[in-house]
Structure 1
């Protein structure tokens, strides 16, 4: 069973609020945080691991933590589902379960980096990051990067690039969503008030 949280926003909501892709450093930080969290879940046994992750099932909390929820039935998750799962195979080992979720995570974060970009515009990320994400999205599980390698690669990059902590980034992403939501409500109330005044004057 996947973890659940009380107050959170999804990656989908983060991208919809900003209307543009995540930046390179943001993808690295989220990849580090999610890989670390998933590895902790995996240590409890393959039955605890989510089989599919998607932008709508990665939950970011205002306190800087993250969790995962089961994908909604209405959500189209086929493109985030590992090929072996689509073929009806159920991962029975920890290694197999990790390979399944690595595929989902890679597809999810690639979507975040590619969000709303024109088809003829390349993703604005480094060759290193794109190579890692693509290695996570290999159709053949045997060729797919494992979860520990993803984590170690992210940790090395994080230290060498002196990036902010994932917790700090997650808090900022959540704050941005709430700030945009608040701005939207204020704008709506302003427009409504102006229309009301105009009606009274007429």
Structure 2
């Protein structure tokens, strides 16, 4: 039994909280690190809210089943969309880091009105931005991400990472008799559009030219010139 990130947030009707983002980052990085070490051939998926699976054990798994290509495009690294060959393990790692960052931005932004900022600390926001950098050289590695998560855990009073994942799973299993059919076809088609909005905002697109706007991904007020 497992629960996708999209299913958990659909049941909640709201975004991931700060410590939940850290927890999913940590558990996801651990899984990716182990896959790269043991079985790189198993990395043939794109991380997204529908393919990131929360396990009752508190671990994270990934799947490429029941996820349409339309769902994945907003989470696919730019170098992959441009058709560049991802031949090395390092290339694959950075591709997954981008998708993981975009997925967590999506989760932190879920059902938050456009006019309101995401409730992330500057430090966590900067970590996610580094994961989603257009340049593969600037993106964090799984090892660097694990180090950042470990430092956060040591310096905070948060619970173990697996406990937050377990709670997200219980949120769904305690609310539904079954997971199948949780998202209607209409809802599935609309969710990628929110991912597209996040991607555009990350790139600085779509900002009004005649209004003072809070740009949630950079955490700064942007005022059009003049």
Q: Which TM-score bucket, shorter chain as reference?
A: 0.7 to 0.9
Given candidates 61, 66, 69, the residue that maps to 2:60 is: 66
Find the counterpart in structure 1 of residue 9 from structure 2: 15
8 A contact 2:5–2:49 mirrored in 1: yes
Give the number of the structure whose residues are more often helix, by fraction: 1
Alignment deviations for residues 151-182 of structure 1 (CA, whole Å, 9 cap, x no partner): 11011101211321122111111111122225
8 A contact 1:51–1:97 mirrored in 2: no
Find the counterpart in structure 1 of residue 89 from structure 2: 94
CA RMSD of aligned residues (A): 1.5
Secondary structure, counterpart of 1:145 in structure 2: coil
Given candidates 127, 135, 138, the residue that maps to 1:140 is: 135
Deviation at 1:73, TM superposition (A): 2.3
**Where does the alignment leave 5 or more consecutive residues of structure 1 unmatched?**
1-6, 183-202
Larger Rg: 1
Find the counterpart in structure 2 of residue 191 from structure 1: none
- More moved, 152-161 vs 61-70: 61-70
**TM-score of the superposed pair, with normalisation by structure 1:** 0.82
Q: How many residues align?
A: 176
The 1:105/1:18 distance shift into structure 2, 3 A limit, reads: same
In structure 1, how many angstroms separate the alpha carbons of the residues matched to 2:96 and 2:57?
24
Given candidates 64, 67, 75, the residue that maps to 1:80 is: 75
Deviation at 1:143, TM superposition (A): 1.8
**Where does the alignment leave 5 or more consecutive residues of structure 2 unmatched?**
178-226
In structure 2, how many angstroms separate the alpha carbons of the residues matched to 1:30 and 1:21?
13
1:41-56 alignment runs, 5 A limit: 41-44=35-38, 46-56=40-50
The structure 1 segments of at least 4 consecutive aligned residues displaced by more than 3 Å after TM superposition are: none
In structure 2, how many angstroms separate the alpha carbons of the residues matched to 1:128 and 1:50?
30
